[in-house]
Copies of this chain bind each other. A is one copy, B any other.
């Protein structure tokens, strides 16, 4: 390919301010300087395509109104679900629906680690180390394994699903670093698999709309489609009032799947703006209709009000009456049990007791837990995993 007519610069400012550039692709990642470059490009009348979920989740509420003001589009398909065209499906393909729930495996690193822990019976730290050596996990894996990356993506999808503003800071977020090989084995015996899910649902509480948003390791039934999504694959499950359940699966990261999504956005914008004619092309009929001014400031449902079923792993001294004491406190809080299991016995060391509860609110569960860990035979570090059922 002859690139001799193409200008080359090592100063990104030349690109975002050039008069004869219609569209800028931002693949720097992170908050700054990406934010400044993108804002400058928009102010200079350029469309932007980005793969930067952190930028959209954190600064979308500044950038979308700016783009609207300047009549340009921001394409961000690559920011969520990598190569899976899930934003397009949600925004356009399911446009006739009210979204009733949203579930996703959004982080390939976590899914790779959980899959490997299950397949090899290996512990978290060992698999993380291997993932880092293979380049699947960063040297500092915090954003991935602590659920922050998933929360970025979930906050973006929730906004698109419910017409709410992006509220990344309000997503309840827990990662996978406390999961042990023993937990994965214990849930498998109960017919479940652990996946790090982002979950969002709309609610109407006393006539007021609210949005539930949470990221945490989740028990999913082995028979659910989302349970079959392994290794570094991502999946998004969108349920709408007309379409019912839809699931989208594919590579959630990697340079080629990301490029696939970036170029699709560029083609979408080019198609509507005409034949690449430069200067003064306004983006009046965006196919990517993410209209900032039409979104509402909808409150986030407090985590205490979120309903779930729970998997609880207590570490207890193996003394008579300890399970009875725990069960009695749960019963006080009207939390009923689906299953209880204590396999190991040990005279002096703490042993795990596993309980599966029926549905209750997080607030009620936490109140019960705080009473339970004040029991002399129960240790403080309780593992709380939430459990979801699926229509498909």
Contact = CB atoms under 8 A, between A and B. Distances in A.
A389 interface: no
A316 B93 CA distance: 52
Interface residues on A, range: 35 or more
Interface string A212-240: 00000000000101001100010000001
A260 interface: yes
Contacts of A77: 93
A246 B274 CA distance: 29
Contact of A243 (B96, B247, B250, B268): B250
Contacts of A112: none
B233 A257 contact: no
Instruction: Give the most central of A244, A263, A272: most B CB within 10 Å.
Output: A244
B88 A92 contact: yes
Contact of A94 (B85, B244, B249, B392): B85
Nearest to A244: B251
A287 interface: yes
A267 interface: yes
Contact of A263 (B95, B272, B392): B95
Contact of A95 (B240, B259, B264, B287): B264
Nearest to A271: B285
A84 interface: yes
A89 interface: yes
A97 B88 CA distance: 16
Nearest to A96: B263
Interface in A334-357: none
A59 interface: no
Given A225-B249, A243-B256, A392 B233 contact: yes
A71 interface: no
A92 B268 CA distance: 7
Contacts of A367: none
A70 interface: no
B247 A248 contact: yes
A245 B286 CA distance: 28
Contacts of A244: 83, 250-251, 256-257
A25 to B, nearest CB: 13
A246 B83 contact: yes
A240 B260 contact: yes
A117 to B, nearest CB: 18
Contacts of A263: 95-96, 242
Contact of A248 (B92, B248, B264): B248
Contact of A96 (B88, B247, B259): B259
A190 interface: no
Nearest to A287: B287
Interface string A259-285: 111111001100110100000000001
Contacts of A251: 243-246
Given A246-B248, A287-B272, A93 B88 contact: yes
Given A96-B267, A225-B229, 11 more contacts: A85-B94, A94-B260, A95-B263, A96-B260, A223-B228, A228-B228, A243-B261, A244-B250, A246-B250, A271-B287, A272-B285
11 contacts: A77-B93, A84-B243, A85-B88, A85-B246, A92-B267, A96-B259, A96-B260, A242-B257, A243-B257, A244-B256, A246-B250
